[in-house]
Structure 1
Amino acid sequence: MVEQVRIEKVLNNNVLIGVHPTYQEVVLIGKGIGFNRKQGETVPFDKADKTFLLKGENEKEQYMNLLPHLDQAIIDFMNDVLIYIEDRMGQELNEHIHIALTDHIAFAINRAKKDIYFSNPFLFEIESLYAKEYQVAREVVDMVQKQMGVSLPEGEIGFIALHIHSAVTDKALRDINKHNKLISRFVEIIEDELDLSLDRGTVDYNRLIQHLHRAIDRVHHGESLGKENRLAELLKNEYPVCYNLAWKLIKVMQKQLNKPVDESEVLYLTIHLQRLSNKS
C-alpha cells in the first residue's frame, strides 16, 4: 500500500510540505505535485521525484524564508540540479544541501547578473582534495549556463564542490572551510620557509595537499602512523631544513586543531617537503 502524505503547505506547483506517517515533516518535489492541491489533502508519497526531511523548526523556517525570494524557474532548476548531483555522486545527499546550495546558487546567479564576482583562493586545493565533487560542480556550472543563461565564474566551481562534499560526507561546511584555510596556511609557510613558489598543477603538489588533508583527518580521529625511530634519525640528519619545517607545520596544526598530533606525521611530511624542494 502506498503511503499517503497529508499536505501542510503548498509552496508552488512543484513543491509542497507535508506530514508523513513515519518521517513526520517532509518536502515533496515533483513536476505538478502541488498543482490544484490544498492544505489537508493527501498525496501519494511515491508521486514525488525527490523528497527530503525538514529536521526541526529551524530548518523548516530557513526553507520557508528562502523560497519567497526565488523565482519559480530557479526553484525548478535547483530541483533538477539536486537530483542530478545525487545521481552523479551515486549516493544520497545530506538533506541540508537543499537549503544551502539552493541559497548559494540563487545568489551566485544574481551576483553574476550584476557583474559582482567573488574569487576563491582555495580553488587548486579544492580540486586536488575533492576531485569528483569538483567535476560534478563544473557540470552544475555548465547547467547554469545552458538552462539559466548565466555564466558563473570559475571560483563558483570550488564553492559548489564544497557544498557537494559537505552533503556526501555529513561534514559541516564550516569545518571543511576551516581545514582548507589551514592547508592554505601550510602552503604559505612552506613557500616562505623554502623560498620557492609551488606549482599548483603538479602531481607532487597534489600529493602534498592530499597528505596534509589526511593528516588533519588522522588528528581528528586520533590515529597514529606508528613509531619510526631509525627513519626519524635519518631524515633529521639528511634533510634538516625540511625536517625542521615539518615540525613547524605540525606545531601550527596542533595549535589550530587544538588536538595532539602524532610525531610520526613529521617524517612523512619531511619526505614530501624534500621532494618538492628537490624539484624546485
Structure 2
Amino acid sequence: LNHNAAISINHQGLDILLMGKGIAFKKKVGDSIDVNAIETSFVLKNSENMNRFTELFITVPPEVVACSERIINLGKIKLGKTLDEILYINLTDHIHSAIERHEQGMLIQNPLRWEIQRYYPDEYAIGVKALELIGRDLGISLALDEAAFIATHFVNASLDNPFNEPQKITEIVSSIEQKVKTTFKTELDEDLIDYYR
C-alpha cells in the first residue's frame, strides 16, 4: 500500500492489514514482513470491508487510523459489546473528515447532541473521551458536538441492539439530514461518497 502499510494473509487465511513505520519499505509482493515492525494490525473478515478500509487507508494519515483504533478499543472495553467491523471504516473516515472540516474552519453543529447524550450516555462518554484522544494524539481540538457524532457510530456498530434501535437510528439520521438541508438550504445527492459519510 505504502511504506507504512502492507496487506498480508494470517495463519487462518484471512486478509490482514499490517501497519508500522517503514514496514513495507523496499518490499515487493511475496516478501516477508518483520514481525517486530508491526505496530498495528487489522483483520476484517468481510472482504468488501477490507477493500474499503484499504482504499480509505491510502488517503488517511496512519496516525489518524491509529487514533481511531485506540478509540474503538476504548469503546469495546467501556461498552463490553461486540461491535461490527464496519466501525473501523466509518469511524476512521468520520474522524478524518472532521479534522479536514476543522482545518477549513467548517463547524457542523449536532442538533441531536442532547438527545444522544441522554439516550446513549455510554456511547456519548466514549465520544467525549475520543475528543480527548484526538487532542492528545493528533493535536486537534474538535468541538463537543463531534462527541455525539462519534457516539452514533458506536450505536450503529453495536451488534446486540434491541429490535427498536434501527428505527430510532433511522429517525435520528433523518432528522440530522433534514437539519442539514434546512440550515444549508441545499439538497443532498445520495449517490455521493460525502452523503454516505
TM-score, with structure 1 as normaliser: 0.51
1:156 aligns with 2:141: no
Q: How far 1:131 sits from its partner (Å)?
A: 0.8
Taking the aligned partners of 2:142 and 2:79, their CA distance within structure 1 comes to 22
User: What is the 5 A alignment of 1:107-146?
Assistant: 107-146=97-136
User: What is the 5 A alignment of 1:63-212?
Assistant: 63-169=53-159, 177-180=169-172
Aligned length: 171
Q: Which runs of 5+ in 1 are unaligned?
A: 1-9, 185-280
8 A contact 2:81–2:160 mirrored in 1: no
The structure with the largest helix share of the pair is 1
TM-score, with structure 2 as normaliser: 0.70
Taking the aligned partners of 1:175 and 1:28, their CA distance within structure 2 comes to 37
Give the 3-state SS of the residue equivalent to 2:108 in structure 1.
coil
Q: How far 1:88 sits from its partner (Å)?
A: 3.1
Identity of aligned residues (%): 21
Q: How far 1:85 sits from its partner (Å)?
A: 2.7
Give the 3-state SS of the residue equivalent to 1:17 in structure 2.
strand
Distance 1:55 1:132, change over 3 A: same
Distance 1:145 1:176, change over 3 A: farther
Report the AA paired with residue 51 of structure 1. F
Taking the aligned partners of 1:44 and 1:90, their CA distance within structure 2 comes to 33
- Alignment match, 1:225: none
8 A contact 1:20–1:26 mirrored in 2: yes
Report the AA paired with residue 76 of structure 2. E
8 A contact 2:86–2:157 mirrored in 1: yes
Question: In terms of Rg, which structure is larger?
Answer: 1
Q: Give the superposed CA RMSD.
A: 3.3
8 A contact 1:27–1:54 mirrored in 2: no
- Alignment match, 1:53: 44
Distance 1:35 1:26, change over 3 A: closer
Q: How far 1:176 sits from its partner (Å)?
A: 5.1
Q: Which runs of 5+ in 2 are unaligned?
A: 177-197
Q: How far 1:112 sits from its partner (Å)?
A: 0.8
Give the 3-state SS of the residue equivalent to 2:158 in structure 1.
helix
Give the 3-state SS of the residue equivalent to 1:133 in structure 2.
helix
Report the AA paired with residue 130 of structure 1. Y
